[in-house]
Structure 1
Amino acid sequence: MSWLSNINNALSAKKEQYQFIVVVQADAVYTSRNSDNEQVPQSFAITNGNWEGALSQALTLAHKKESICVVLGATQYQTFQIEKPNIPQNEWSTALPFLLKDLITDPVTDVVADARVMPDGQKVLAYVIHKRIVQSILKQCEKYSLGLAKILPEDEVWGQAYTAQENYFLLRHSEQSSYHLSAYVAGCPVFSRTLRGISMPVTASDSESGVIDNLALDIQRSADYLSSNLSGALFRNLVINCDKDNASQLNEQLQAIVSLTVVSIDEPPLPCVNVIINTVLATTPSSINLYPEHLRPHKEVISLNKVVAVWLITAAVFGVLSYLEHTKSVQSQQQLVSLKQQSNLLGKEKSSLQQSLNNHTPTQAKLDAAKRIEQDIAAKRSSLDAVNQFDDSQKVGYSAIMNALAQQARNDISLQHIQITSDKLNLVGVASTPQSVPSWVNQFKKELVLVGRSFQSLNLDRSQRGVVRFELKAKSGDKQ
């Protein structure tokens, strides 16, 4: 199996489900829909054994694209018990025809088989049908655009129909078929026998005498045979579901003869086909499927053309991405070149500015010269401050003060010493009397250049000769 097939199988595997059920019996083909709770299945009678024609009519009730489950009657298949194959179970469907070649009359290429493990784990129960049956069913499904999901033997369905006991005998009979006796262990058929030569129904008023006894004898012999040959399995119940028979009468007559407890599957009893359909709808599908994977029309989820197309698309995507990446790279390269050019220009500008900075950086000689200039400016500022200390009287000279003092000359005052500075006016002299000095000072108000002078001290004393001497110290009014 190629890697492409493995991928397809993995992608196509999904949970088994179906919407339409078809049951092929000896008298008719019955149908029922999974979504409908139909009490009476639709039936299409089989004429002259042409079950394919009845199947074709039955499938007209299905909706397009619906999934189909087909249940085959016991006359459509064979069962065999063989040793468990020492191969993986997923390969049984292809290997079983070769393992059964000594037991079947048809060529191994003309049969389809599937199997399940028996309760003892040493043997398997194999179901075999002719491949023509599968092909006919598949052809009819394809005709109506339906999907064939599963082909089940009815023995597998009956194994799930009665759940009160794991081990039991089942006596069933449907329209136009013989009585069939089966034994089940945990849902697996371990014994199956068609009871021939028994007229139907056995409870009819016109039935042959002793027919019930013959039926009960066959059942008891089968029970005794299984009890002695099948260890570990204890059968207590005989379950019956026989169409056209009176269920209560049949139960009573068989209970009086056989050692098993006789019960019915349903109360009131239902036709066999109803039990089959209800069981298929209500229980988990059996692992048996006579429509194996190798016969299904494989839809290639991944084909060579799709792989090539994906490769081409991937190549195109990579090509576009490569082109975009190249374009982006070219743009980035151009941007890098532009940035390098700007960097070179900025580097040159930096060098020029650095040179200008160096040219404007003062030398030590310039710094010394600037320091000398600053010292010269400080000296001149100091001189200017000294000049600013002189008041208006000093700007016009001392002659005005001398003239003002001359104007205030008195006979009782005689000045002997005059001292004039920028902020001082000291007068020393003699007076005829002590009162003359204050009177004379009071006259200074008449002279503009003397106005504003305040006197700090006035000293008066007398000499030995009795002469009054005074010393007057004054300062400028704005220099107080």
Structure 2
Amino acid sequence: MLANMGHAMDNGFLSKLAFWQTSQFMGNVGVFIASNSLWVCKPQQGQLAPVISQFLVQKNNWSQAFEALKSQFGRVRVQLVLSQQYYQLLQVEKPNVEPGEVTQALIWSVKDMVSEPVTDIHLDYFESSFISSSKVNVVVSSRQFLMQLASACDANGLDIAGVSIEELALSHVLAHDNMAHMLVAHLPQQELLLLVVKAGEVLMQRRVRGFNHLNKATLEELKQGLADNLSLEIQRSMDYFESQLRQAPVGSISILAEGDSSSLANLVSANFNQKVVAVNHDGVSNLLAQLALQELARGEV
């Protein structure tokens, strides 16, 4: 659930859209909403590996996709994680208003920064307890799109537990200790995401263009400059984190990407004192579905 970092928000991302009645559900599933499919993770009893399924979304027919989900898993509670194309993440000054009025005031702060008309803006925000700043992170999505998802779930008797975003879900990949850690994450054909997290809180996030096909790079291409270009972007982010946000250097760098991520991590590690590791996974979309379940736990704190 989209939450103020450090504690769950009183009102979730879909609080005003929750017009259905909850009843008996057959467990929880995590759902990553990608460009044309749902990636779904259902935990299993004991030590069994979770079940991961992919359901294609044909011509934006969300109801059909969630119907297929229900056919396999039954009436379940779903924790959704939106892929980047379905939201914008902005940093803006926090309005100087009463706490209960912040969300409404933020709409007017971001209205000229987003593509959605004011009447179609649905937003939430989070901020860090570690960094003293007058700014907050604002997540903006289309109200119409969220209503499509809500209606599709409602029509199939599914309960939406919450809605989150890639940056918050991916924070679960990194160690939860008293040090900051960096994650370099890449989904095929998407921009690169550089994320700094400390004790589960997102302290910094940055999207970088030019690496859309990183997952298809050969070892030779990585050696011939791609790994160094990536290292340069990592260094830029680290410099900003240390000098502008006045934070101690990150303790480690993790690379989450498809393709030859192990070789990429080895090449990048030559440029840094920090330990650089490749995150083990069976597909980044697959992993995001699993992380959605951890976002469900965050919302229940």
> TM-score when scaled to structure 1?
0.50
Distance in structure 2 (CA, Å) of the matches to 1:286 and 1:86: 27
Aligned position for 2:184: 171
Q: Are residue 61 (structure 1) and residue 61 (structure 2) matched?
A: no
The gaps in structure 1 that reach 5 residues or longer are 1-11, 289-480
The correspondence for 1:232, drawn from 247, 254, 275, is 247
Q: Identity of aligned pairs, percent? A: 23
What is the letter of the counterpart of residue 232 of structure 1? Q
What is the letter of the counterpart of residue 256 of structure 1? A
Q: Are residue 281 (structure 1) and residue 293 (structure 2) matched?
A: yes
Give the match's secondary structure for 1:285: helix
Tell me whether 193-202 or 167-176 shows the greater mean CA deviation: 193-202
Distance in structure 1 (CA, Å) of the matches to 2:194 and 2:95: 27
Give the match's secondary structure for 1:41: strand
Distance in structure 2 (CA, Å) of the matches to 1:60 and 1:94: 39
Aligned position for 2:34: 25
The alpha-carbon deviation at position 179 of structure 1 amounts to 2.6
The gaps in structure 2 that reach 5 residues or longer are 1-20
Distance in structure 1 (CA, Å) of the matches to 2:176 and 2:203: 18
Which deviations, in whole Å up to 9, do the C-alpha atoms of 1:215-240 show, x marking residues without a partner?
11111122112211011343121111
Distance in structure 2 (CA, Å) of the matches to 1:140 and 1:217: 43
Which deviations, in whole Å up to 9, do the C-alpha atoms of 1:109-158 show, x marking residues without a partner?
20111111223243321111111221110111111122222111121111
The alpha-carbon deviation at position 212 of structure 1 amounts to 1.6
Aligned position for 1:254: 268
> TM-score when scaled to structure 2?
0.76
Aligned position for 1:102: 112
Which of 1 and 2 has higher RCO (CA within 8 Å, sep 6+)?
Answer: 2
Aligned position for 1:134: 146
What is the letter of the counterpart of residue 70 of structure 1? L
Q: Residue 41 of structure 2 contacts residue 290 of structure 2 at CA under 8 Å; is this kept in 1?
A: no
Q: Summarize the alignment of residues 53-452 of structure 1 with structure 2, pairs less than 5 Å apart.
A: 54-64=65-75, 66-118=76-128, 119-121=130-132, 122-165=134-177, 166-198=179-211, 199-201=213-215, 203-205=217-219, 207=221, 209-247=224-262, 249-265=263-279, 268-282=280-294, 285-286=297-298
The alpha-carbon deviation at position 190 of structure 1 amounts to 3.2
Distance in structure 1 (CA, Å) of the matches to 2:98 and 2:163: 22
Distance in structure 2 (CA, Å) of the matches to 1:24 and 1:204: 28
What is the letter of the counterpart of residue 225 of structure 2? G
Distance in structure 2 (CA, Å) of the matches to 1:128 and 1:80: 8
Q: Residue 59 of structure 1 contacts residue 144 of structure 1 at CA under 8 Å; is this kept in 2?
A: yes
Q: 1:46 to 1:67 in 2, by over 3 A?
A: closer
Distance in structure 1 (CA, Å) of the matches to 2:131 and 2:264: 33
Give the match's secondary structure for 1:113: strand
Q: Are residue 44 (structure 1) and residue 25 (structure 2) matched?
A: no
Q: Residue 79 of structure 2 contacts residue 292 of structure 2 at CA under 8 Å; is this kept in 1?
A: no
Task: Count residues with an aligned counterpart.
Answer: 270
Distance in structure 2 (CA, Å) of the matches to 1:161 and 1:230: 22
The alpha-carbon deviation at position 27 of structure 1 amounts to 5.7
Q: 1:283 to 1:128 in 2, by over 3 A?
A: closer
